[in-house]
Chain A
Amino acid sequence: MSSDFQSGVKAGTSVGITFVAIFMGFGITASLAGTPNLAAVLMTVIVFAGPAQFAMIEVGAQTGLLLPVISVGVLVNLRFLVMSMALNPIFESVPRRVLLFWAQFISASSFLVTFFESRKDRGTDPFEFFKGLVFVSYSAAVAGTAIGVWFGHGLPNLLGFGATLFLPIYFSLLISSDVRKRSELIAAGLGFFLTPLVEIVLPGWGIFLVALAVGLLVVRVAE
């Protein structure tokens, strides 16, 4: 096991704790909506994208139709296009056939933490780091879902409250350590303030649309 893989595992610890909490919430929601327990776990195994999975459950419970569920799940996951585009230059040396397997594990967290690590110029192999991170976060997501569907109803609220804070605090610290230029600070600031506003108007699309708009705007202004 390489040291870069181990660094990824270490970085993935906080993501993993958050994923257990988030996917436990998904497991409980799916179970309450009447989704078979195994189907809920299968969703996490195959889809591995919390927001899309929550949307699928909501639409499935409301409409009872298969096609709208698939459409909403895929549409919410459109952001993966941008994430894979951003990871492409970082994983330039990785053979394509290897990436065709590992791309399945790209999520907002595995993408962002790897992206921030690659900017630190510490000589880390970003792909090994990504694999370590995925090892922890994917296992945590599947375990969290299983706990949620089978045992989730009896867990204390305070535990859930604390666990959901790992991700926002972790990303705040990453941003604070990673922002180097004024234009980057502006991009982060705009993302912070605009995302909730767009989410109200277009639920599920805020992060994706704001990020694209901010990227285009700041590049243009910085030019």
Chain B
Amino acid sequence: MTDASWYLAALGVGLGSYLLRISPFIWARCLQWGKDNIAFLTYVSLAIAAGIVSKALFMRGSQIHLDVDTLYKCVAVFCALILYSRKRNLLLCLISGVGVAVLLKMLFAG
């Protein structure tokens, strides 16, 4: 692709994405939001969040990738969750979890 094409691509996708982002704020305001719709959107949000977690843990590109790094990541998430159930401090648990994974990789990656 030429340099100009890359700039045009950025503008095109930017415009298309912007229209997707704003359209619900334009037409969905005309709708009444029932309890079921709110529940549906809550489930959708939780499924998206959980999907992002599993994708980050188990996938590389578009393939499931299970190796020793996957194990470090799972241990890190598990440690963070255990710590969070006791301390309820989000930032502390987050940094501890990442720290555990980095430490494991440093110790066992040679």
Closest to A72 in B: B13
B1 is contacted by which of A64, A119, A214, A223 (Cβ under 8 Å)? A64
Total A-B Cβ pairs within 8 A: 274
CB distance from B72 to the nearest CB of A (A): 8
Q: Which of A136-144, A146-154, A198-206 contacts B (4 or more CB under 8 A)?
A: A198-206
Interface size class of B (residues with CB under 8 A): 35 or more
B residues less than 8 Å from A172 (CB atoms): 53, 77, 80-81
* Residue-wise interface mask of B (29-69) relative to A, using a CB-CB cutoff of 8 A (1 in contact, 0 not): 10001001011111111111111111111110111100001
B residues less than 8 Å from A203 (CB atoms): 61-62
Check if A173 sits within 8 Å of B81, measured CB to CB: yes
Q: In the complex where A112-B48, A170-B94 touch, is A218 in contact with B16 (Cβ < 8 A)?
A: no
Check if B28 sits within 8 Å of A85, measured CB to CB: yes
A residues less than 8 Å from B23 (CB atoms): 81, 84
Is B108 engaged at the interface, CB distance under 8 Å to the other chain? no
A residues less than 8 Å from B91 (CB atoms): 13-14
A187 is contacted by which of B47, B52, B73, B97 (Cβ under 8 Å)? B47
A202 to B2, CA, bound (A): 29
10 chain-A/chain-B pairs, Cβ below 8 angstroms: A47-B14, A88-B29, A89-B33, A108-B52, A165-B76, A172-B80, A204-B62, A206-B55, A215-B43, A216-B40
| Residues in chain A within 8 A of chain B (CB atoms) | 13-14, 34-36, 39-40, 42-43, 46-49, 52, 56, 60, 64-66, 69-70, 73-74, 77-89, 91, 96, 99-100, 103-104, 106, 108, 111-112, 115-116, 119, 158, 161-162, 164-179, 183-184, 187-196, 199-200, 203-204, 206-207, 210-212, 214-216, 218-219, 222-223
